[in-house]
Amino acid sequence: MAIDLEKAKAEDYVGHDFKAHYSPGVDKKRYEKAKDEMARLLAKHGGREDLEKSEDWALYKAYMYEVASYSEDQYQAWMANRKDLIERKNKWAAFLDAHQHLVFDLCESCIFAIKEYVEKGKLRGLENLESLYMRADRPAEKFNDLGNLIYVLQRDMGEKSPAILILPTNECGKDWEILGDIQYSS
């Protein structure tokens, strides 16, 4: 039995209702309050059937729209992050594909640290990977240095470790720049 997706979308009355009442920018605090109020109203009326018959139904629906709006915003943010993640991983993979010897020349902790920073979006300037490689006398050593720096930052600072920007050219003897404060102590 084939499913007519267009027909299903057209008949999605709940989805259309939520779209019509979408309110962008619902923050976590409003979301939590709306959920709590929905639970309170359901408990007060003993379930949805009795709630739908009461004067509180309009209030319940208003809270429901806030919850749906927050969920939609979170979903859209997640989808944007997913797209960016795929883009970052593809840049890193293409770079390693072009310089396969680095996979074997870099220490395991360094390559893992760089990969993790790429995935978290904390290694910025990925378009400059090739120029960093080209200007290094010993690329493996340069990328081991970068990996060691990232490893130490993650070890010492955890999730609060700052982003690193790979510079397009060597500036004052620097190939990358730490974007943030490293004076943090755990």
1 in any annotated domain: no
* pLDDT in 10s for each residue of the chain, 186 residues: 677 778 777 777 777 788 888 889 999 999 999 999 999 999 999 988 998 899 999 999 999 999 999 999 999 999 988 999 999 999 999 999 999 999 999 999 999 999 999 999 999 999 999 999 999 999 999 999 999 999 999 999 988 999 999 999 988 889 999 998 766 544
pLDDT at site 111: 95
19 in any annotated domain: yes
Structurally, the chain folds into a number of domains equal to 2
Integer-rounded Cα radius of gyration of the chain: 25
133 in any annotated domain: yes
pLDDT at site 183: 62
CA 22 vs. chain centroid, Å, equals 23
Q: Helix, strand, or coil here: 124?
A: strand
Orientation angle between helical segments 108-120 and 139-157, nearest 10 degrees: 70
Q: What is the pTM of this model?
A: 0.67
CA 36 – CA 27 distance, rounded (Å): 14
- Residue 170's domain comprises 99-179
Q: Do residue 175 and residue 103 come from a single domain?
A: yes
pLDDT at site 12: 74
CA 135 – CA 164 distance, rounded (Å): 18
C-beta of residue 176 within 8 angstroms of C-beta of residue 163: no
125 in any annotated domain: yes
pLDDT at site 186: 46
pLDDT at site 14: 77
CA 93 – CA 147 distance, rounded (Å): 16
Residue 54 is classified by DSSP as S
Q: Do residue 50 and residue 117 come from a single domain?
A: no
Q: Do residue 17 and residue 48 come from a single domain?
A: yes
pLDDT at site 3: 78
Q: The tokens of 56 are what? A: 């509180």
